[in-house]
Structure 1
Amino acid sequence: MEIDYTAEELAFRDEVRAFINDKHTAEIRAKTAKSMTGYIHKEDHVAWQKELYKKGWIAPNWPVEHGGPGWSTTQKYIYDTEMLRAGTLRPLAFGLKMVAPVLMEFGTEEQKQKYLPDILQTNVWWCQGYSEPGSGSDLASLQCRAIPDGDDYIVNGSKIWTTQAQKADMIFCLVRTSTEGKRQEGISFLLIDMETPGITVE
């Protein structure tokens, strides 16, 4: 497909290409090319994502008020196309594309101020706590319970297939806070510090 870009869009494409050539190091390129999963060492991910953050490009789809670049649809297309063409390391989706949108839509202002800047700057490493020993794709069957305890919750249960858990600072979990109603109801989304007493990673 041929697209008739404007002069400004062509200049943006050249800027993206120059940035990739300058910041996506040969070492990272070699590691990325050998990876079958898209994951390499945490330190490499963090270094690359911080370069994207400094450029203002880490979260193309975030609204401007939360740190997004305010790009047009064409700019987003150019950016994604050039990143894919160059085989760059893709930013991890957990914080940027899974936690952040939920916070933007449903979080309090206090929660947004607490979590969004660190997600944007890759200051916090996230993992996902969805699947359980008895609950894979059928998340309505999950059994991990969260019982209110004042301003906190007491969480009991297990999560499996938790990518990056051994390196994570935080986990976002689906937990059952009520057994009333349909199986799909009574499920809540909690953000939990991995240093919380009682959490073990095996």
Structure 2
Amino acid sequence: MTANATIESARRRPKGDKRERTRAALLKAARELIREKGYERTTLQDVAQRAGMTSGAIYGNFKNRDDLFMALATSYWPPIKPVIRRGSTFAEKMRALSDATIAAIPDRRDAAVGRLKGMAHTLNHEELRAQVREHTAASFERGAAWLDAVADDDGLPMPAAMLVVVIHAMTEGLLFQRFLTPELVPDSVIHAAFAALALERTPAADA
């Protein structure tokens, strides 16, 4: 590619792409600094300086430090994405979810320490906790809608709004215990935990 072609390509690149790259660079810098200094000692000015940018760049992407920390938490905690076969039973869907949980282990293991540090920091900051509650509530709402959509003819073992919380808590607990004591939480345990949700349907499903 010639120099002129490279310049022309850059000119045609959407402005949104530049914003995304700026945001990604700031998040990367924030992650590095938090690992080195911790949450309490990481400032927005530090992040901008590490990323080689001005303070204006960081305030153009994040409202404040809590907003940056929330973005960091959601960016570096890989989602679990089950592959659901059309027409599958609820038990088969739970198996797909356990398979996806196991598949996410390597990437989540890399981010686990940062995740725990972020949770510990959040516990002591009510404004940040409020953001986490709002984000989590929205996530639970989407998850419950998904569960209702993929339920089979027998329904769900409990109301979708309850089931999504159970699955979330179970998944997080299993993964962190796996990271801590992998020999005690093999894949078979993760499969069994999700399979247990499909063993019995209760009247609560109609509540």
Same fold (TM over 0.5): no
> Of the two, which has the highest radius of gyration?
2
- With structure 2 as the length reference, what TM-score do the two structures score? 0.30
Structure with more of its chain in strand, by fraction = 1
Whose relative contact order is higher, 1 or 2, with alpha carbons under 8 Å and at least 6 apart? Answer: 2
Under a length normalisation based on structure 1, what TM-score does the superposition of the two structures give?
Answer: 0.31
